[in-house]
Structure formats: C-alpha cells, structure tokens
Structure 1
Amino acid sequence: MIEQMCGNLNTYIDECDNNSVGTSGGNEQYLKKEMCRSVLSIVNEFDNITAKELNEMKDEVISIKESITSSIHKCTSLHNDLSHFHEFVQKIGDNKELCLIASIKCKHIIQQALTLLGKSSKVFNVQSITKHNVRIPSDKGVCYIGGICVLPDGQVLVVDLNNQNVKLLNQQYQVVSHWDVNAWPVDICLITPSEVAVAVNDHESKIHEVQFITVNQGKLVPGRKFQLQHDCTGIDHHQGVLFVISSEELYKYTLNGKQVCSLYRSLEYTVDKCAVSPTGDRLYIISWNQDKLLTLARDGQVLVCGYWPPTVLHVGWEGESKLATLATQEDGVLGPSSVCFSSTTSSIIVGQLRDDILVFRVSMSNVIELTWQRHQSDPQEPQYRKTLPLS
C-alpha cells in the first residue's frame, strides 16, 4: 500500500511539473493547491485502508486470544479431572476389575485429553494389497529385502542382502537402477531427500561400514563411507545422528563416522534392527531370536514384521500394545524381513525373503491408547524400557 501511495504521489507530481511549464503565477498557485488536495486525498485514503486492516488484525488477534484462553481452560479442567482419575487409580492398586470400571467411566475424559493434545493413535486399515517383482537379470539368487527406504518423491530404495545390491524403484515399484555392494547390505535409512545411508556388513571378512548413496536423475551414485569397529545389522537416522545396531549393542554416531556413545547393550539376547520416531525421542529395537520389541524413550507409530508366523503388526506408540494385525500369510505375506511406511502414497511396503515386495494401500482411523504410567527419559541415556512379545 505504501509503494502504491508513493507511486500515485510521484505520478501526480510529474503531471504538475509538466503542466506548470509556461504557466502564469495565478495558474501555478492553483496547481499547487490542487496538488495539496490530491496528496491529502491519497494520504487520507491510505489512512482509511490502514485503519481497516489494523481493525481486522485486531479482531483476529482477539479471536485467537479467546481461542487460546478457551483451550487453557479446557486443559486446566481436563488436568484436574485426570489428576483425580490418576489418584483414584493409584488407590485402586492391582485391582483389575476396578481399573476397568474406572477406565470405562473416564473414557470420554481421556478421549478429550488425547484429542486436545494430539495424542490419539491412528490404526492402519488395509484397503488393497499388490505384489511387485524386484528381481533383476543379474541377480544370482532369490531376493532377500533386508531394508526399505522411501524418498519424499515416492521413489523406493531396497537393499537385497542375498544378491548384494541396492535397488532403486520408481513410483510404480519397478527397478530402474541398481548398485552392487562389496558385502552384505543389511539395512538402509534416509539422510536427505536424495541421500541414503546403507549398513554394509560381512562378519567373516570383517567388513563393517556405512555407505552413503545419492539418487540423481534416476541413478544411484555412491558417495563417502566410513568404517566401523563392530558388526552393523541395523541403521536409522534423525537430524544428523545415526543409530547403528551391532549384534548386541545400539550405538550413536555422527554423519562423519565419529562414535558418540553406546546407548544400549543387551546381555540377554541379540538386537537386530532399530528405528527412531519422527520426533527423535523414542527408539525401537527388534530382537529376532527372542521375538521382542524393545522400546527406549517416547512417541511414534511403529510397524513390525514377524518372520514366523509371517505377520505385519501395527504397534502402539508406547510400544506395549498391538493395535492391529495388518497382514498374515493368508494375505500373501511370506518371510517378511523389512517394513516401511510411505506417507507420500499412504502405503506400507513389506520386503520379503523372496523376489516380490508387497504394497498395502492404507487409510487410518483414530483409537484410544490407555497408559497408566509414563516416565520421562532422554534418548541420550535411555532409561525407560518396555518390551512387547511379538509372537
């Protein structure tokens, strides 16, 4: 508006300059008065527009303030109700019958709280299942898709452990490029919209490394890599931090390959794969030989695939409950070894110990998850540990 006003003033002044050439004193005085009236009119118009805009902004701010005040009152009320509920549950102790009655009576309060705080879980509903072959002519054996990664544009990368290569699939899940690895590619994770990190491991040959690969115009271009002093069977990334799994330990690394610390070590069973929640404050670890999902820290949707019986599960964000069984052997799941969700296409992609991957088109619906006790923890030093049996 200011630029438009300046433009109008400059245009009028130029007109006055042109008209004033060769005019008498009386006419010049008249032109000056006209210019003053026009300038005053332009300024008044600007003031009126500005006042109108400011009033609209004021009304909007008042509306936002009222909305925030209302939300604060709702939160305060819900906090009080839930505090009473919590005290009541504490007094109940281990009486499951009374806990059930209390949860039923307070279900609407909990639903309001979860909705207000955005903590209601979403359950995947499978709409359709399609099968896509990822075998290429140079493959010497059956495909073993140990890891899957989806790029923001819908392209998919899979690591084929058995054929020692990384494959790029287009949006129709057709192989358009591949890159051969010098050992077993066991897992993959997204670093940037066009770059991924691949965990490469061969215990006998003592090859343990993280290989970075860039997707450039439908081609896989290998980049930098760094060596590890231990096995690497799983990998994930969040905001410049790599989480690397050995057979019994979870490590934290920088993208330059510097080991920061050991986050978790198991003395009871092996740990095989890891995943980090989108917020980075919750870690999930899979143990195949114990059929367990171990949860460190908080938040996130979790998808888990079980090798036998072949199953794809949807697990709650607390890591303690199964929200849904998405697919079984009857749906064509055989030897599932990796799973990934694509928000771009609303699809769950399942890699298997076979030449086909499965793509589940899904929708989501809300459910309530009840958790009686929550513990604050730090992903730097995980203290909150829960396990969920996957059988």
Structure 2
Amino acid sequence: MGLICIQTCVYCMKKTNSSNEFTDRSPIINFLQVQQNQIEINLEHEMRELRAHGMSRLEEKYETAQKQHELKLQLIEQQIKDKENELQLMLNFRSAGKQKSLKEQFLLDLQINVIAKNGEKSAEGNQRIYEVMRDYIKDNDDMTGSSFDEISTDTPVYHLVDFIKAIKKCRIVDISTTDQSSTDIQINCTSSKAMEDFLTAISSNGFHQELFELRRWLLVQCDIESHDIIANCSSNGIEKVKQRLYFTGVTRSMTCTEHQHTQCTLYCPDHDTFLCTACRESKHGTCLGIKQVTSERSYVEQKRRLNIKSIKGVYSVRIDNTLINRNKNDQDECIITSMCMLPNGEVLLADILNNRLKKLDSSYKVISHCDVTEHPFSVCYIGNDTAVASLSGNSIQYVNISDNINLTQLVKLDHECYDLACHGDTLYICSRYTIYNYNKDCTQQHVLYHYPDKTYSPLIAISDNGERLYFKAKTDLTTTDDKGNHLFDEQFDGYRLRDICMVGEGIVLVLDETNSIHQLDYNGKKHRTVDNMPLNISFPQSMCFDRERCRLIVGGSEDKIHVYKCEFLPS
C-alpha cells in the first residue's frame, strides 16, 4: 500500500510540475530529485571529520593512560628503592647486633601514601587516614596501650597504629601530614635492637595485611577508591641513621649462614631471615614476598669512596724455624699470589714459590701451613671450613681450614686453572682463555665466557649479589653478567693488572703493577684512584679486603704483607 501511495504521489507531481503548483521546497519534489540523482549526498567529508574526531579522542585517552602508566612505574620504582634502603638498614643493625649493642636512640619517619587509580597521590585518602590516626593517637597520648570499640568503622586505622605501638621500645612521638600528600609518623627506637625489630615488623606480611585492610576501609567506609597504599621510611631518615652507624664502625655486610663466603642480598619475610641467591633457589623457592636487599640500582647510585686512613703495619709471612722443623722452613722467597679472608677474621695465603698455603691469625701471624703438589695460583673460601686452591698442574686442591690446614681432595681438570672464585654453590675457574663454572665438587662443567681473541685471563671476582663477574684481559677489565653476557670493558693505560677484590657496597678494587689501586663501580667502570695509598711493594701480586675491620691487605714478593686501615668517605 505504501509503495502505491508513493507511486501515485510521484505521478501527481509529474502532472503538476509543469503548472508550477509545487515549489522546490516541497519534500515530495526533493524526494523526487534524489530519486532522479539531481541532488548529490556527499558523506565522505563527514566521515573524515568523524574519523579525525575519533582519532583525536583516542590519542587523548592513550596519552592519559600512558601518563598514568608512567606514574605507576615511577611509584613502583621508588617503592622498590625505599624497601631496599629499609632492608639494607635492617641488615646493618642485624650486623651491629653481632658486634655490639648500640645504646642510642634512633628516629625514623614512616610515611603512608594513598595512591589513586590514576597513579597520583590521593589527597582525599591521605587526609582521611591522617585525621583518624591523629585523633586516635591524641585520645591515647600515653603512646602505649590503646583501647577502641571493635565495631568502630575506623577499626583498620586503629589496628595499624596499635601494630606499631606493639613493637618493643618503639614509641610514636609525632604525626603530621605534608600538603595532604602523606601521613608521616615519627618513630623513636631506643636501641639498635628496637630499630631492627621495627624494620622487621614493617617488612612483615602482617604489616602488609594491615595496609590491605586500610585500603578496603577507604573504599567501603569512606567511598575513596585507591590503587595502592604504600608505607615506607623516609629516605632522609634512613640516611641519617646510616651515617651514625658508619661513624660507629659497624659492619655493613653479612655473610650467609649456609654459604659463609657469600654476602646476603635477599630477605625472606616468611622466615625473617637474610639469605643469598643460592639459598633462595635451594630452600626458599616457595616463599612469597622475597625482597632484594641490594641491587644494581643502589650500587649505581652509591656515592661513597674508599680512602686509606693509615698503615696498620708490615707483617712477615715467612716460615723460618731455625731450631726445630728445619725441613719446614721456606726455601725460597715468599711470593703471595693470592689471599682470601676467612669468616673468623683469619687470612689464607697462597705462596707460589714455596708451594705452600699459609693461614694467618687476626694479628697476621702465621699459625698453620701445608705443602701442595704444584704451584698454587689462587685460593678462595667456599664455606663449611673448606677452601680450594688452583694449582699449576690443572688441579683443584680442597683443604680443611678448621684448625691446622689439612689437604683433603685433589681434583684433576681438563684445562688450566689460574684463578677461581665462589658464589653460593657455584665455583668459577679461569683457564688461559675461558671462564668455566662448576658446582662445588668440580663436576657439571659449563663454559661461561670465552675470549675470541685468545686473550690471557687469569683473574676473576664476583659481586656480592652474584650478578656481575669481573675478570682481567691483559691490561683491561671485562665485566659480564652471571650468564656470561659481555657488558663492559675498562682500560688501565697499558699497565698489567695484578688482582681484583670486592669491598662491598658496589665497590670493586683493582691492583695494577705500578702499586696503584683503582676504585671501580658495580658495572666495572673506573671511578677513581684510592687516596693516600702509600704502597711501596716490590712486584705487588695480590690483595683482599677485611670488611669486619675495614682493612686492606696487600701482598707481594718480599716475604711480607702490608695492612692498611681504611675508611669510607662521601664522594
């Protein structure tokens, strides 16, 4: 029916068109003109405008999302950095506890930040937490025991405050806010043990659960949606406490209890323990929330330099018994090609000409020695009262160093053995052109790195976290990662390198043939020459660093070792 009506109208229009009874504005005539293709409808321009508008809106949304993503990444990076600083400080206090208890008061600021969905700080969320926390602390100004109504809507805030108050010898002394961007809680810890307990508590899973409840409280009770709640100690407060620890001479490192030569670089909140990377793989594989204590980030940013404060003394390492045991006297000059620190503060030396290993006590007096079958090039400690020495006959000699030095197992390898180092359960051995890694009993050989130009490479050192390896290539120092990927080469003006050792805190020391000692950073880049180094040693050969007493020990070819007192100074 509709079609008939249209056709009738069209017929009528045709009959009346000649008599001009209808104007051009008639919708029926317009319709007829469209039908007759007399009017062009051009949609292309409109589609272009619509497409441009859509792309513009899409670009705006993308830029907004990109900015939010970058903000969130920056927050995560800062959170990781802050947590590393907290854990490093906890490690320092735990090391201090092994030496002496510091009866001093320490102040730290715990900052609580609410992060909005867009990655920025939520002023509304932070202000709400601050107000409730301020009123609760004011009502309980004794800063000790607290009481509150368990059915209160603000209970999660009260729980967080009481969690902090429950830490022994820790007291909340002030609470403030900075432009509504964070809630700052000032904590006074009355001893090094209290500070360690506080840092342990805020790194625990229980504390993170309190923050989770706080975030849920903001959403349910306050209608404030957040992306995250971050609680970290202020970096300024941590640095001030660290400086006080440095002035007291507290050790700034801790060796793993399972792998005594290896530095702890990880923290497990499930077991409240520091561990090395080898322990993580073998014993903590199922633990959640394992955190890095030190990393490349903190190494790169470290701004400390090692300085020689004074010479401690020059000590003889020659065995010369004129009355008894004449056959045990050193027949040749003592050339110390390698040395390493033992966990109890003793020192193990390799005397290459006399084919002997020698152990010194903490006053650098020879207290034990043993003969080996070939020239010893290098020694290192691998844990459990065991050390290994690389010998000139393609051999690795295991020795027990618990009392007197006693030879145990001799392992023959299919390549030369010049230098060696150990990290965790992995033993690294240098041949002339290749770096190998083994397990501790020298099986399961793998090639880690090979010099394509057949460059002589007899020296190796490993960073505390096991992620950087440093070895000599004639007059250069090569840095790789723990997978053998080449990272960096540093040149030393044509002078041959004699030894490499790790100081800690991302500092690498390199000894060259001119009696100069160079300080390098974590990535193997030359930082500076160590100041006040009064070396006057004929043919310097080896060195090691005593972290417990902050001393540098250097050996050469004159029957003696030189011991220097060191100090860390700001760059």
Asked if structure 1 preserves the Cα contact closer than 8 Å seen for 2:309 and 2:532, the reply is no
SS in structure 2 opposite 1:331? Answer: coil
For residue 284 of structure 1, what is the aligned residue in structure 2? 470
Asked if structure 2 preserves the Cα contact closer than 8 Å seen for 1:183 and 1:200, the reply is yes
For residue 306 of structure 1, what is the aligned residue in structure 2? 512
Q: 1:161 aligns with which of 349, 352, 368?
A: 352
For residue 128 of structure 1, what is the aligned residue in structure 2? 310
Q: 1:317 aligns with which of 522, 525, 550?
A: 522
For residue 86 of structure 1, what is the aligned residue in structure 2? none
Deviates more, 1:173-182 or 1:262-271: 262-271
Count of residues paired in the alignment: 270
Asked if structure 1 preserves the Cα contact closer than 8 Å seen for 2:396 and 2:410, the reply is yes
The amino acid across from 1:187 in the alignment is S
Whole-angstrom distance in 2 between the partners of 1:278 and 1:193 = 19
For residue 216 of structure 1, what is the aligned residue in structure 2? 402
Offset at 1:56? 2.6
Whole-angstrom distance in 2 between the partners of 1:240 and 1:162 = 31
Q: 1:49 to 1:310 in 2, by over 3 A?
A: closer
Asked if structure 1 preserves the Cα contact closer than 8 Å seen for 2:463 and 2:522, the reply is no
Deviates more, 1:271-280 or 1:116-125: 116-125
Question: For 1:69-93, what per-residue CA distance to the aligned partner results, in whole angstroms no more than 9, with x for missing partners?
Answer: 365999xxxxxxxxxxxxxxxxxxx
SS in structure 2 opposite 1:358? Answer: strand
Whole-angstrom distance in 2 between the partners of 1:303 and 1:363 = 14
Give the alignment's TM-score, normalised by structure 1.
0.62
Q: What is the correspondence of 1:68-87 to structure 2 with a 5 Å cutoff?
A: 69=230, 71=232
Are 2:421 and 1:236 aligned? Answer: yes
Q: 2:341 aligns with which of 150, 153, 168?
A: 150
- Indicate the structure whose relative CO is greater, using CA pairs within 8 Å and at least 6 residues apart: 1
Q: 1:248 to 1:228 in 2, by over 3 A?
A: same
Offset at 1:148? 0.5
Q: Which runs of 5+ in 1 are unaligned?
A: 1-47, 75-113, 202-206, 368-391
Question: For 1:130-165, what per-residue CA distance to the aligned partner results, in whole angstroms no more than 9, with x for missing partners?
Answer: 211101121111111111111121100000011110
Q: 2:448 aligns with which of 240, 250, 263?
A: 263
Offset at 1:297? 2.1
Are 2:551 and 1:357 aligned? Answer: no
For residue 481 of structure 2, what is the aligned residue in structure 1? 297
For residue 460 of structure 2, what is the aligned residue in structure 1? 274
Q: Which runs of 5+ in 2 are unaligned?
A: 1-143, 149-157, 168-182, 186-201, 203-210, 215-228, 236-294, 321-328, 483-504
Question: For 1:236-287, what per-residue CA distance to the aligned partner results, in whole angstroms no more than 9, with x for missing partners?
Answer: 0000100000011100111121143111111332101111111100000013
For residue 56 of structure 1, what is the aligned residue in structure 2? 162
The amino acid across from 2:340 in the alignment is C
Q: What is the correspondence of 1:129-208 to structure 2 with a 5 Å cutoff?
A: 129=311, 130-137=313-320, 138-192=329-383, 194-201=385-392, 207-208=393-394
Asked if structure 2 preserves the Cα contact closer than 8 Å seen for 1:327 and 1:333, the reply is no
Identity %: 24
SS in structure 2 opposite 1:264? Answer: strand
Whole-angstrom distance in 1 between the partners of 2:433 and 2:304 = 32
Asked if structure 1 preserves the Cα contact closer than 8 Å seen for 2:418 and 2:430, the reply is yes
Whole-angstrom distance in 2 between the partners of 1:173 and 1:73 = 43
Offset at 1:208? 1.3
Whole-angstrom distance in 2 between the partners of 1:240 and 1:363 = 31
Offset at 1:209? 1.3
Asked if structure 2 preserves the Cα contact closer than 8 Å seen for 1:311 and 1:333, the reply is no
For residue 346 of structure 1, what is the aligned residue in structure 2? 550
Greater share of residues in strand? 1
Whole-angstrom distance in 2 between the partners of 1:251 and 1:183 = 21
Q: Which is greater in Rg?
A: 2
Question: For 1:170-221, what per-residue CA distance to the aligned partner results, in whole angstroms no more than 9, with x for missing partners?
Answer: 00101011000100110011111622111111xxxxx21111112223x112
Give the alignment's TM-score, normalised by structure 2.
0.44
The amino acid across from 2:435 in the alignment is L
Whole-angstrom distance in 2 between the partners of 1:247 and 1:257 = 18
Asked if structure 2 preserves the Cα contact closer than 8 Å seen for 1:303 and 1:340, the reply is no
Whole-angstrom distance in 1 between the partners of 2:531 and 2:427 = 29
Whole-angstrom distance in 2 between the partners of 1:317 and 1:325 = 16
